[in-house]
Chain A
Amino acid sequence: MYGNAYIENDGNKVNSILADEDPIKLAEFEARIAAGDKIEPKDWMPKEYRKQLVRMIEQHAHSEIIGSLPEGTWITRAPGFRRKLALMAKVQDEVGHAQLLYSAAETLGKSREDMTNDLINGKSKYSNVFNYPAPTWADSAVIAWLIDAGAIVNQLANSKGSYGPYCRALDRICAEESFHLKYGHDNVVFLATGTPVQRAMVQEALNRWWEPIMHFFGPPDKASQHSEILMRWKVKMGSNDSMRQTFLNMYVPKIWDLGLTLPDPNLRKNEETGQWEYTEPNWETFKQVINGNGPCNKERLAVRRMAEENGRWVRKALMNKDAVYATPLA
């Protein structure tokens, strides 16, 4: 998942999370959220709320910007002019989403420069799924359809969260994602209904991406008081498993409908419980990739560094010495 799959509990006891908070302000804050009201940038908020939101929105922003790299790879080789235009538009959207999200995180007090520094120096994470290569055109189709589908499940849930600027950014983002989803579906359907070579290509891509997609929603949450608080504050809008279920329920039938298979013999819907059953993906691999050992982690960050460095002289030349730093308003 983009942001909240990787919420970490720093080992703080719940009591110590809330210990220095003013009980009256905390009660007002919680009442506001319980009433379905949004929290805005200058409002009082608990330190833990601010910290988790910055981490989550920042990770989401980094995911958008790094996520545009594996797809960007295919712009020059997308088959046909219309697909090139569409893929360029999609990649531009993703980079635009990063800008919206960085601004939302900035309202909480972390500058965009600091977020970029933390991405480049490896302190901040981004979605694991973007550390995998896209070796064929079919991979780019599977990403555009299914990774974006996963992102929509996640983002629709988060857009009902409690922090105003994040919700507003997500509303804009979700509106654009629907084009990505249709574009991706169109590309997958084109291949899946095509020649045996095209079908084989999309099947292989699907096999490659299935584990990263299952990883996308994050490991099963451990029930803890910490995550209970984050749910109550509407920072976390659903468990990782419930989001994974929503995704499986919406998309596995669509995949099977095309006569494609998924590389998990245990994958099936239990009609009695309404829940999907599946083999747990390898969470050790997930951990390895998050910690920098995936197939493309180094490449992604090296490209990001190159972009930052190559653009630096242009930005320096444009800098306005009289500029006044102000936190974005909303």
Chain B
Amino acid sequence: MIVKSLDPRIERAALDDESKIGELNVHEHFETYEVFQQVKRGTHHQHVGNVHAPNAEMAMLFAKEQYCRRGAAVNLWVVATSNVFVTEYVDADIFETTEDKLYRDPNSYKVMDRINAFKARTSKV
């Protein structure tokens, strides 16, 4: 049956409510691009999400529409998801900053103790 609609545009389209369309195949909605946005000059670009697009130029267009509709942005990057190399969460232990790496911590250097001890020692002489 032809769809009766309140929307004049849909009325004009005279849609058949039993119409069928072929199934979409994987990839018909394209690959994904990851989107990085810089909100202000001088700040880091930050990952904000992704878009489906057939190429980088269109990914940029969609990213602008999707992630920069309102609020500040000064720059965008897009990169095909398949080109991003990622670590696995199961390997997260590689990031553990263990307590025994104190030599990377500026607070672990107590020079004043040594200087004061030195001064105390030499002033007595």
Question: Which positions in A face B, CB cutoff 8 Å?
Answer: 40, 42-43, 72-73, 76, 89, 92-93, 96, 99-100, 103, 106, 111-114, 116-117, 120-121, 133-135, 168-169, 172, 176, 179, 298-299, 301-303, 305-306, 308-309, 312, 315-316, 318-320, 323-330
Contacts and interface: CB of A to CB of B under 8 A. Distances in A.
Interface SS of chain A: helix
Contacts of B13: 306
B116 to A, nearest CB: 44
Contact of A96 (B6, B48, B66): B66
Interface string B26-43: 111111101000000000
20 contacts: A43-B89, A73-B6, A73-B10, A93-B69, A96-B69, A99-B66, A111-B26, A112-B29, A113-B24, A113-B28, A120-B21, A298-B17, A301-B17, A302-B15, A302-B16, A312-B28, A316-B28, A324-B31, A325-B31, A326-B32
A133 B6 contact: yes
B105 interface: no
B52 interface: yes
Nearest to A43: B89
B98 interface: no
For chain B, the bracket of interface size reads 35 or more
Interface of B: 3-10, 13, 15-17, 19-21, 23-32, 34, 47-52, 54-55, 58, 65-66, 69-70, 80-82, 84, 86, 88-90
Contacts of A111: 26, 29
B88 to A, nearest CB: 6
B92 to A, nearest CB: 10
B104 to A, nearest CB: 26
Nearest to B23: A117
Contacts of A320: 30-31, 54-55
Contacts of B88: 42
A40 B87 CA distance: 12
Contacts of A176: 69-70
Given A299-B10, A302-B19, A308-B24, A330 B47 contact: yes
A134 to B, nearest CB: 7
Nearest to B6: A133
A265 B13 CA distance: 42
A99 B51 contact: yes
A43 B34 CA distance: 20
Closest 7 CB pairs of A and B: A113-B24, A318-B54, A326-B82, A298-B17, A73-B7, A324-B82, A302-B15
A316 B49 CA distance: 24
B24 A116 contact: yes
A302 B27 contact: no
B81 A328 contact: yes
Contacts of B47: 329-330
A329 B30 contact: no
A328 B32 contact: yes
Contact of B24 (A117, A168, A299, A306): A117
